[in-house]
Amino acid sequence: MLQSNRAIRVAAVVTGVVALAIAFGVRAVFGGALYSNGALQQNTGTALYASAVYAAVVFVAPRCPPVVAGLVAAAWCWGVEALQLTGVPHELSRYNIMLRLIFGDAFDWLDVLWYPAGILPLVLLEVLVRPRGTGPRRITSR
């Protein structure tokens, strides 16, 4: 049975919302402030941000193979992290909390390592859960 794009997108939205809810929950319970940057808040927030990015990729491209979606999500996360080297996200974050949540504030090598921790479990889960025959459509010569 093929999963519809709608079902895949609903699962992606639920995954993204759950990831963000956990990230904000960790900050609320253990940090008390959205700007708190203790190790627990920082590392879980980074991994769960990557999970939400993966969910966004799946939402936009529901038939994308999980490994490709994971690579796209990792490329986005690492690209945003590299952008932080320019100082632009730091300046933007001074004016808008949403921009800070999306683009971060300052480069951190530890973040680079935590992104795959948020993406890989979802890639593996999707590979295991996706019914056979619902992979990417193949172009044939016929």
State the Cα–Cα distance between residues 57 and 135, nearest whole angstrom.
15
Summarised one tens digit per residue, pLDDT across range 83-112 is: 999 989 888 888 888 888 888 888 999 999
Burial class (CB in 10 A: 0-12, 13-18, 19+), 122: buried
Predicted pLDDT of residue 38: 78
Give the pLDDT of residue 33: 64
132: which residues sit within 8 A by CB, 6+ positions away?
A: none
Phi first, then psi: give them for residue 63, nearest 5 degrees.
Answer: -100, 5
Q: What is the pLDDT of residue 133?
A: 58
User: What percent of the chain shows pLDDT beyond 70?
Assistant: 85
pLDDT-based confidence at residue 119 (cuts at 50, 70, 90): very high
d(CA 29, CA 116): 24
pLDDT at residue 37 is higher than 90? no
58, amino acid identity = V
pTM: 0.84
Q: Is residue 141's pLDDT more than 50?
A: no
Say yes or no to pLDDT of 127 above 90.
yes
Torsion of CA 47, 82, 109, 49, to 10 degrees: -10
> Tokens for 8?
């895949």
Kindly report the number of other CB atoms within 10 A of residue 70's CB atom. 24
| Residue entry with tokens 């992290």 | 81
Tens digit of each residue's pLDDT (9 = 90 or more) over 41-76: 888 989 999 999 999 999 999 999 999 999 999 999
Tokens of 86: 């320019």
In the chain, the percentage of residues whose pLDDT exceeds 90 is: 57
Res 35: pLDDT:
62
